[in-house]
Amino acid sequence: MTESTATASTVTEEPDPSAIAAERMTFFADAVIAIAITLLALELRVPVGNFKSNALLWSELAKGRQEYVAFLISFVVIGGHWSAHHRVFRYVTRIGRGMTVLSLSWLLMIVITPFATRLLSSGDGAFQLRFGVYAGIQAAGGLIFLGMVAMVQAQRLYRPDTPPDRFANAYWGVGALAAGFLISIPVSFFASGQAYDLWIVTPVLTAIVRRRVLAARAKRRSR
């Protein structure tokens, strides 16, 4: 083997810095999300005292039901953010211009979710403000993530074998979630219970509509 051949082989074997950066960013996002979920659990109310019966313990646990419900909501929301990120960024091979800023902005929304969760379950007064802060943070996180997906697609930062529907699924799924949070903010001023329902109803209805749209397209193509 000549010296030039050895040099060429060495250069070929060197890892792509862009690929390493993309991988590190994904690992960093996973770590931040894991920390956010851990912080959620640390904020849960733990009954304190010497309870002489199960009824007394259940009564004390019931006092923290708002916190427990808020925890479950945030756990599902953060899990949804992570799942959407994983489905898209497992195919990302490079980091484009502006992606770091968008990623850090998205992670900021994840990190402050435990604070927003505690604020949401902190009492009965000023509901619209507490609700709006929480819903606004989640909507912002969803919209920022959509910006990340658009950047990946526009700058072709993904692998050639990326499934064709990968980006469309992200737009529909995360877009519906962000829309549900956004719409719920004005609704909370006159129908607080229904405002919560929108967080579930909007993504579900969107999924149903999209399924019917895809079925109609497939039917037209088969003719």
What is the maximum span of the chain, computed from C-alpha positions, in angstroms?
83
Which ranges of the chain would DSSP assign to H, the alpha helix?
Answer: 3-13, 17-42, 54-62, 65-89, 99-111, 113-120, 127-154, 166-187, 192-222
Q: Where are the domains of the chain?
A: 16-222
Burial class, 148, CB count within 10 angstroms (exposed 0-12 / middle 13-18 / buried 19+): buried
- Predicted local distance difference test score (pLDDT) of residue 14: 61
What is the pLDDT tens value at each position of the chain, 223 positions in all? 454 444 444 444 566 666 777 888 889 999 999 999 998 888 777 777 676 677 777 777 777 778 888 888 999 999 999 999 999 998 998 887 889 999 999 999 999 999 999 998 887 778 899 999 999 999 999 999 999 999 999 989 888 899 888 898 899 999 999 999 999 999 999 888 788 888 888 888 888 888 888 777 777 777 6
Prediction pTM value: 0.83
